Amino acid sequence: MKSVYARNVAETALLVFLGFLLLALSFVGIGSRYVLRENEERMERTANEAARLAMAVVQKDELSGWNMSMSLTSLGSVTGSHIFITDTDGTIVSCSDKGMKCEHIGTVLPAELLKRVAGDCCCERSDLGGMYPNRRYVLARPVESGGRLLCYVFVTNQADTIFGGWHTFLYVSALIALAVFIVSMLSSMVLSRRMTQPLDEMAAAARKYARGDFSVRVRQAEDPTSEIGALVESFNKMADSLESAERRRSEFIGNISHELRTPMTTIAGFADGILDGTIPPEDERKYLVSIRDETRRLARLVREMLSMSQVNARASDPTRRTVFDLTELVVQTMLSFETRATKKRLDVDPQLPENHLMVRADKDGITQVIYNLMDNAVKFARPGTTIVLRIYKENGKALVSIRDEGETIPPDDLPYIFDRFHKSDRSRSMDKDGVGLGLYLVKSIINSHDEDIAVKSEKGVTEFVFTLPLAEA
């Protein structure tokens, strides 16, 4: 199968050739008719001039005399035509040939030719009954004076004389056309190569993608607003998505392997100990409880990781983003923690704007963010303290702040608090039931909206703040 480059060059060559062929046919057809018309008009002017000379000479001399012959010779030299005069019977009596004696004198022309000439000019191609070895362009006209036919004037030209310059012009034009064709083809080859190079690179990149290497990108050599440039940009964005998906898949598998190994090892070890009698019967209940707890932790881990994957994919989809009231969403989420906060003797101080604050985002994803941060605040706040939930606008963004009073997160842990499976023995990850995915999920959802989240923890006060895009008015 031919490449796009070869097909493009071949099609361009065919189009250019057909264009030149059509132009050449039109040019030759129109040009040849123009040359013939110009020649006919020139021959007619020559015949008219010869007729005037004949009428002038006939007043004082014979048409076969020396004066008529010299006049025709001069006129023929100037015009490049062969001129002769016949009497009314068609016998040549004077000729433009140089020399004392002309071989054409006395030649009788065919009677049918004289019939065609009688009364008007006649222009045709003829050898005049064998007078010429080749057919010539012949123009003949009668010469009359006072209603009386005096003679006939014949003006003839060879085809080479008429088309000699025209053929030279055509030859030069053909050379120029050939040069233009070559330049056009070279330009087409260069432009086609430039146009198809990104396609070749994309094909090579696609082959590497098929082998699992998603690191290759196509070089953007075109204007991004052009069709090829837009295709390259879209292809690279597709590659970014594939690489991101592959990275998430690898991370997911790695995380699953890492997090499942410990509880599965513990469950298998305790089960083997019970079965082979290593664990005394009186201790079996204790270890069965450990197996149950590890099994539940294992189920919770799998459930949260699957939830994280689904929420991440949903939040990254721009088509799921809608305009909604952030204030209303925060209030609804806050109410779901009322029972837990009351049980822990926590007060919740909602500092909400007077007017509704509309944002554009994935509502389910942002609900998950607020829920996780509120859950984190309720879980680690000291009993009897206040959780402050604030919504405000700043620098064209909507901001949500959740602040609680509890243990201070050590400064060394702050840079890693949003990492997957990060749990510190000295901070708010002391929860034994946690798997270290809540804050990672929060950051992933916020970052998928091209927004930011930050945390600050000083003197027992911890505050999480994240931004959201305001809806356009």
| CATH number of the domain that residue 335 is part of | 3.30.565.10
Q: Whole-angstrom Cα distance, residue 406 to residue 417?
A: 16
Same domain, 309 and 347: no
Same domain, 130 and 8: yes
- One-letter amino acid at 249 equals R
pLDDT in the model for residue 4: 66
Mean pLDDT (the chain, rounded):
80
Q: Is the pLDDT score of 426 beyond 60? A: no
Same domain, 118 and 19: yes
Number of C-beta neighbours around residue 133 at 10 A: 7
pLDDT in the model for residue 420: 65
Same domain, 338 and 303: no
Compare 84 and 118 and report the one with higher pLDDT.
84
Edge-first strand order for the sheet with 122-126 is 92-95, 82-86, 148-157, 136-145, 122-126
State both tokens at 448: 């998928």
When pLDDT is averaged across residues 149-156 and rounded to a whole number, the result is 88
pLDDT tens digits, one per residue of 75-113: 888 888 888 988 888 888 888 887 667 788 888 888 877
When pLDDT is averaged across residues 66-78 and rounded to a whole number, the result is 86
Same domain, 364 and 260: no
Same domain, 277 and 426: no
CA distances to 127, 149, 349 from 84, in Å: 14, 16, 124
Q: Is the pLDDT score of 434 beyond 70? A: no
User: In this structure, is residue 200 part of a structural domain?
Assistant: no
DSSP-based three-state secondary structure for 437 = coil
Nearest to 21 by CA among 178, 227, 153, 205: 178
| Least confident piece of the model among 94-108, 139-153, 378-392 | 94-108
Q: Is the pLDDT score of 172 beyond 80? A: no
Same domain, 142 and 252: no
Q: Whole-angstrom Cα distance, residue 155 to residue 47?
A: 6
Same domain, 352 and 453: yes
Q: What percent of the chain has pLDDT over 90?
A: 14
* Count of domains for the chain: 3
Last residue of a domain, one of 315, 330, 346: 315
Same domain, 310 and 376: no
Highest mean pLDDT (candidates 69-83, 193-207, 372-386)? 372-386
Give the pLDDT band of residue 143 (cuts 50, 70, 90).
confident
Kindly report the CATH number assigned to the domain that includes residue 13.
3.30.450.20
Last residue of a domain, one of 275, 294, 315: 315
Query: Do the Cβ atoms of 371 and 333 come closer than 8 Å?
Result: yes
Same domain, 8 and 97: yes
When pLDDT is averaged across residues 258-278 and rounded to a whole number, the result is 79
Q: Whole-angstrom Cα distance, residue 449 to residue 468?
A: 8
Q: Is the pLDDT score of 391 beyond 90? A: yes
pLDDT tens digits, one per residue of 205-247: 888 888 878 778 877 765 666 777 777 788 888 888 788 777 7
Same domain, 82 and 54: yes
Give the pLDDT band of residue 432 (cuts 50, 70, 90).
very low
Q: Is the pLDDT score of 425 beyond 50? A: no
Domain ranges, residue 271: 244-315
Q: Is the pLDDT score of 359 beyond 80? A: yes
Kindly report the CATH number assigned to the domain that includes residue 272.
1.10.287.130
Last residue of a domain, one of 147, 163, 179: 163
Same domain, 45 and 132: yes
Q: Is the pLDDT score of 401 beyond 90? A: yes
When pLDDT is averaged across residues 426-455 and rounded to a whole number, the result is 71
User: In this structure, is residue 100 part of a structural domain?
Assistant: yes
Give the pLDDT band of residue 162 (cuts 50, 70, 90).
low
pTM above 0.85, yes or no: no
State both tokens at 60: 């004082």
pLDDT tens digits, one per residue of 301-353: 777 666 666 666 666 667 788 999 999 999 988 888 888 888 999 999 999 99
User: In this structure, is residue 175 part of a structural domain?
Assistant: no
User: In this structure, is residue 177 part of a structural domain?
Assistant: no
Query: Do the Cβ atoms of 444 and 305 come closer than 8 Å?
Result: no
User: In this structure, is residue 76 part of a structural domain?
Assistant: yes
